[in-house]
Structure 1
Amino acid sequence: MQKEISFPSFIPQDVQNTFRWLIKVEEFNTIRALAESVYKFLPKDNPEVTDFMAMVLHKAKMYREAVPYARQTVAMLPTPEAKFNLAKCLNSAAFPAEAEKVMAEVVKERPDWIDPVIDHAVYVAAQGRFDEAEAELRTLLNRVGTADRNYAVVQFNLGWHEIRAGHFKEGIRMLGIGRTLRIWGAYSFPYPQPMLTEGVDVRNKDILIVGEGGAGDEIINARFAQTLRDRGARVFFASNHKLESLLARSPGIEKAFSQKQAPPAFDYWAPAMDLPRILELNSEDIPKNSYITPVEGLVKEWSKRIPNNGKLRIGVRWQGNALYEQDLMRSVPFNLMETFVNIPGVEVYSLQRDSGLEERPADSKVVDLAPYLNTWEDTAAAISNLDLVISSCTSVPHLAAAMGKPVWLFCPLSSYYVWAGPDNGRAWYPQVELHRQKEFGNWEHTYKDIYSKLEKLAQTKGGAR
């Protein structure tokens, strides 16, 4: 939506302040309930009202609920601004083709407005037309002055395309620009110590790696503690996703703890997602060893729930965090993965937790592990008893791969940067096999490919063990 939250003047100021506060603390269900309550008392034929509803629901990450209100706004007042908001809602709701069409109208009507051109390129890329999207961004880069904030935004978006082309260092550098734009990782930390930068000698220095992004991002980048250790540093890790007990056993990490805790004394801090740039690494320099180990006692306990009975034991995950803006684009229907139970010699276990569980029918033959997945340690112990993980693009395949387990990934067209390179993510995880989507919104080809391969694997003696 538009950068600043705007409210109709007839909504009381204290209610506006309440919305702003709820959005800041991410109380999304409360936001929705409050919006629906306020809406009852507002005129339904006023485009300010429907735009307000679309805006608030989008901010609350209820993207598909926001779309009808955005459509009503455009129907009553078809301004470029209203269409811009509609396109934003449509893309977040996983309708990039329609979003592209609407945003093209905005670009035509307001040719000097840069934001719609940037977003238009994003919607084109979401549908797999990468060269077209990149060309649009490069043309825009020549048009925008370097002092304009949008110059940095365009550079950030081009970072993914640089990685796609195999230009790892340049891609990581450009993605890192997004930190100051508040669209990449975290953007500020309250530490008085200096941030680690390129070229600093870390010998005999204490370095605090600060986790940022999602849980998967912390797992992805915890490996670089080894690189710092090998250069002579002592390394600590501050986690924002309750991963501290797992990461504490990762090689190179002296101690891991929650970001809510006070860190031990240190000399420099480093944002986790920026470590490849700070350490001046190329793709071949990324540590590729297994670096997360489960608790032995928990592994034994979980072996009772996932017994080794000679069958191929696979874990499935079809959806990640529903609050992630791209979640609708990466999620895979459960009913596709459920069919794996029909393959002789295969047992299927669900690694799904929280959102997405409603897709699994109560009588499903896929074994539901959710009641026992209380912590990340439980998830790691469960994975250790599996032969293979088949997943959509969530944090779980990162955890499994970091443990050295084979992973088959349902990879969306416009994939995460880790999977974007020409090596199909092998620079990060040699044991991950990508099965890329061929057409946006259609997993059928990918599913058939995985199903066929799983049939063949199940027929081999001992499966994946």
Structure 2
Amino acid sequence: MINAALLQSLFLRAVQAFQGGNLDLAAAECQRMLSIDRRNTAAMHILGSVAFRRGDHDTAVDLLGKVVRQDPARIQAVITLGEVQLALSRFSEAASNFRKAVSARPEDWVQFYNLGLALRGLGQLDEAAKVLERCRDLADADASSPWNALGDIYRSQGRLEEALACFEQALRIAPGFSMAQNNLGITLHALGRSVEAIAGLEKAIGMNPEDPELRYNLGCSLQETGQTRPAIEAYRQAIALRSDYAAAHWNLAHSLLRAGEFAEGWREYEWRWQTVQTADTYPQPFWTGDAAAGRTLLIWEEQGLGDTIQFIRFAPLLAKQGWKVVVVVQKALKRLLDGLPGVEIVARGEALPHFDVHAPMLSLPHLLGVTADAVPAPAPYLAADPARIALWRDWLQSRPGLRVGLVWQGNPTAKVDKGRSIPLACLAPLAAIPHIRLISLQKNEGVEQLDGLPTGMTVETLGADFDAGPGAFLDSAAVMMNLDLVITSDTAIAHLAGALGRPVWVLLQAVPDWRWLDGRADCPWYPSMRLFHQTRAGDWDGLAQRVAGELSRFK
């Protein structure tokens, strides 16, 4: 017969020990309970809670799962199991348990909070917002975490002003709440209020100087405002606090490269595989930079069309070093890149020939030891099709004046396009220069702006058949060979013009992509390129006036 009185006594001692933080005694008393009654759910519940507090999540899930299966009405066990599942990022299971908890305890704001976090982990932001709004309404007046969590959801939904208000309220309740201060800084950054963001993040670091995420976010805001050196320092501090902080390494790479510190920058760039990119997988090993020895090297594209055009330059160089070189490129670029000396071009998805080692294309600068002062394989390293050049020559030469190719719009759905594209109407000062003939090289997105040009602005087009075939940029390359100048935003066209060795001016936002470096008017990647930077973020009108002044003197 089970001794109920003894079990009750052991249970009370176990609860007292657990609440007092004596986990060893609590566990011992529970084991004694289970020796008397091996199905005792109260003992398993406490043991599961002990395991959770000790960080033994697998044991906690096992024990608490048994409790919930045996006694589904034990809501506190359901809640604790949900908390463990939340810690393990098992969001679907956690959400299921917290739904039970809010049903059983509809006035308990903490359970709505937990459910909101689980739904956020599932990406169900709309429902998470509703749940956390209910949590906010139920919460105690001195509870700041519901405001912070709700602000985090709003920010993820793009509701930045509402998010900002939530973080400000969380900080009014708890002025030392470093996570809310961090989130406030991130939101200010997203709103373009970078100076305030930096001040907010520095304040958050003062609250919690050992948090690497705060240093990382500060680095992002500093870089956004063009403060490259302070950004480098912030990323280094984040890495000093967490050596495997992949995002900090990855952003540090961008800042180092922007500063022209290529040796360390390319090393740090290899952290991209632990962050935003997925590497191709092949049974053959990665190339480590050793000599060819008669082997075949497969190089594979990994980012955008412009990146492939920029970094394909190294393939012929490696062929000269004795490699048999095979390069996997985007299907659209195969025809443009065919014919590189010593290089076999294969479109993504086509069968691959034999190869011995492989390398991602943007690892080549690291493997080859490329520096900002000596970029190998100078342009031109691409060539346009002679027949197409001849085809366009007559049409273009019948247009008198200085022939200037124009591109203003990148892919608006691409994350990297933020701030890079130029409203075509802003470039009207270029059209006002006597003897200038603007010719559109724009394709796809952005061509609709040709229908709404300001009075007096004319931009000629090249017809519906221009670059309409299966290969990208074939006509663009041929047309460029018949132009006097190309003026473009930061798009793949800039790389194509540079790779062809054509005169090209690239119009850049105030803080451009790392590859253009800080404050450079020239470009180490393309000797024929000239760079024009905004002096104030978003001021394309001012930049266009400056470019127009230079264009009026162009020979």
TM-score (structure 2 length as normaliser): 0.66
1:172 paired residue number: 266
Is 1:383 aligned to 2:471, yes or no?
no
Partners of 1:19 and 1:261 lie apart in 2 by: 40
Shift of 1:326: 3.9
Moved more, 420-429 or 446-455: 420-429
Shift of 1:380: 2.4
Residue type at the aligned position of 1:226: P
Shift of 1:196: 0.8
Check the 8 A contact 2:238/2:248 in 1, yes or no: yes
Check the 8 A contact 2:523/2:529 in 1, yes or no: yes
Q: For 1:348, what is the secondary structure of its paired residue?
A: strand
Per-residue CA distance 1:187-211 (angstroms, 9 max, x = gap): 311211111112x121421111111
Alignment of 1:3-82 (within 5 A): 9=95, 51-52=152-153, 54-55=155-156, 57=157, 65-68=158-161, 70-71=163-164, 73-74=166-167, 77=170, 81=179
Distance 1:289 1:315, change over 3 A: same
Unaligned runs of 5+ in 1: 24-33, 58-64, 458-462
Partners of 1:129 and 1:294 lie apart in 2 by: 39
Shift of 1:223: 0.4
Is 1:451 aligned to 2:548, yes or no?
yes
Alignment of 1:96-245 (within 5 A): 96-141=194-239, 143-145=240-242, 148-150=243-245, 152-176=246-270, 178-183=271-276, 186-198=277-289, 200-240=290-330, 242-245=332-335
Check the 8 A contact 2:219/2:235 in 1, yes or no: yes
Shift of 1:368: 4.4
Distance 1:269 1:91, change over 3 A: farther
Shift of 1:370: 8.4
Shift of 1:274: 0.8
Check the 8 A contact 1:237/1:256 in 2, yes or no: yes
1:328 paired residue number: 418
Residue type at the aligned position of 1:207: L
Distance 1:279 1:363, change over 3 A: closer
Residue type at the aligned position of 1:70: A
2:429 paired residue number: 339
Q: For 1:262, what is the secondary structure of its paired residue?
A: coil
Moved more, 235-244 or 265-274: 235-244
Residue type at the aligned position of 1:197: T
1:281 paired residue number: 370
Shift of 1:73: 4.4
2:110 paired residue number: none
Partners of 2:183 and 2:413 lie apart in 1 by: 19
Partners of 1:360 and 1:103 lie apart in 2 by: 43
Distance 1:366 1:102, change over 3 A: farther
Shift of 1:270: 0.8
1:28 paired residue number: none
Unaligned runs of 5+ in 2: 1-88, 100-116, 137-146, 172-176
Check the 8 A contact 1:206/1:234 in 2, yes or no: yes
1:266 paired residue number: 355
Partners of 1:136 and 1:158 lie apart in 2 by: 9
Q: For 1:330, what is the secondary structure of its paired residue?
A: coil
Check the 8 A contact 1:390/1:408 in 2, yes or no: yes
Residue type at the aligned position of 1:222: I
Distance 1:67 1:242, change over 3 A: farther
Distance 1:363 1:324, change over 3 A: closer
1:434 paired residue number: 531
Check the 8 A contact 1:350/1:366 in 2, yes or no: yes
Residue type at the aligned position of 2:244: R
Residue type at the aligned position of 2:442: Q
Partners of 2:394 and 2:366 lie apart in 1 by: 44
Pairs aligned (count): 423
Shift of 1:76: 6.1
Q: For 2:538, what is the secondary structure of its paired residue?
A: coil
Partners of 1:203 and 1:432 lie apart in 2 by: 36
Per-residue CA distance 1:194-246 (angstroms, 9 max, x = gap): 11112x12142111111112111111100000111110111111123621111
2:444 paired residue number: 354
Distance 1:212 1:424, change over 3 A: farther
Is 1:417 aligned to 2:514, yes or no?
yes
Residue type at the aligned position of 1:196: W
Q: RCO (CA 8 Å, sep 6+): is it higher in 1 or 2?
A: 1
Check the 8 A contact 2:405/2:439 in 1, yes or no: yes
Shift of 1:278: 1.2
Partners of 1:247 and 1:255 lie apart in 2 by: 7
Per-residue CA distance 1:130-177 (angstroms, 9 max, x = gap): 233233334444x425xx322x5444433344444443222222222x
Check the 8 A contact 2:497/2:504 in 1, yes or no: yes
Check the 8 A contact 1:158/1:174 in 2, yes or no: yes
Aligned-residue RMSD, C-alpha: 3.7
Residue type at the aligned position of 1:169: A
Partners of 2:354 and 2:166 lie apart in 1 by: 54
Partners of 1:136 and 1:329 lie apart in 2 by: 24
Shift of 1:406: 0.9
Partners of 1:208 and 1:299 lie apart in 2 by: 31
Shift of 1:303: 4.5
Per-residue CA distance 1:337-388 (angstroms, 9 max, x = gap): 2331111111112333334445444356223458534333233233333221
1:27 paired residue number: none
Larger Rg: 2
